[in-house]
Chain A
């Protein structure tokens, strides 16, 4: 199989604090991991793409200083929302791709972030 986990599944934090979300590929090594953001009743918007040991590539309009991505190993990527504000409240989903075939992405269950 190809299982991707995220932790935590939900988090509530105060405005101004930072929150770290972990994304792990449990049974495979992921060459690339992706971070998406999903607002209620909307589609997934790609925020950034990260490769192990390299700096993340951010999509246009995504603040790299606000959303820090670290891909320290082939099985772990983290997204840190720095100085979170209520407008950062959203559902964050990660995915990981295998280095075979067409780089199929396997999605994590998502993390619900609520900033008070």
Chain B
């Protein structure tokens, strides 16, 4: 069965520091991978996605992600975190014949000023 694992439930970083959020997936076929961000009480906003090609993808708000097939990994990175980046981050894989999103459990990011 398809699954997405986000090993870090909470992460705290200082403003201006770099950020790396981990995501591992289990999926038999070529994965379509996503990172979403959710602010408290809000819906989800797509940060970036990976389908194929270059394994380093750029997203909005200065985020990027690196896909590593050998490690079943899709790490989210940001070189310098801003206080407004504090939110919940979800990794997801498209499954069900390309129709369903399976989400990880999320990582809560706290930014210290």
Instruction: Encode B44-58 as 1/0 by CB contact (under 8 A) with A.
Output: 111001010000000
Chain A residue with Cβ nearest B44: A107
The binding surface of chain B is classed by DSSP as strand
User: Inside 8 A of B108's CB, which chain A residues have their CB?
Assistant: 41
User: Which A residues form the contact surface with B (CB < 8 A)?
Assistant: 4, 6, 32, 34, 41-44, 46, 49, 91, 93, 95, 97, 102-105, 107-110, 112
* Known A43-B106, A44-B44, A104-B49; further 6 A-B contacts with Cβ < 8 A: A34-B100, A43-B104, A44-B90, A46-B100, A105-B101, A109-B42
Interface size on B, residues (CB 8 A): 22
- Write the residues of chain B forming the contact surface with A, with a CB cutoff of 8 angstroms: 32, 36, 41-46, 49, 51, 90, 94, 98-106, 108
A85 to chain B, nearest CB (A): 22
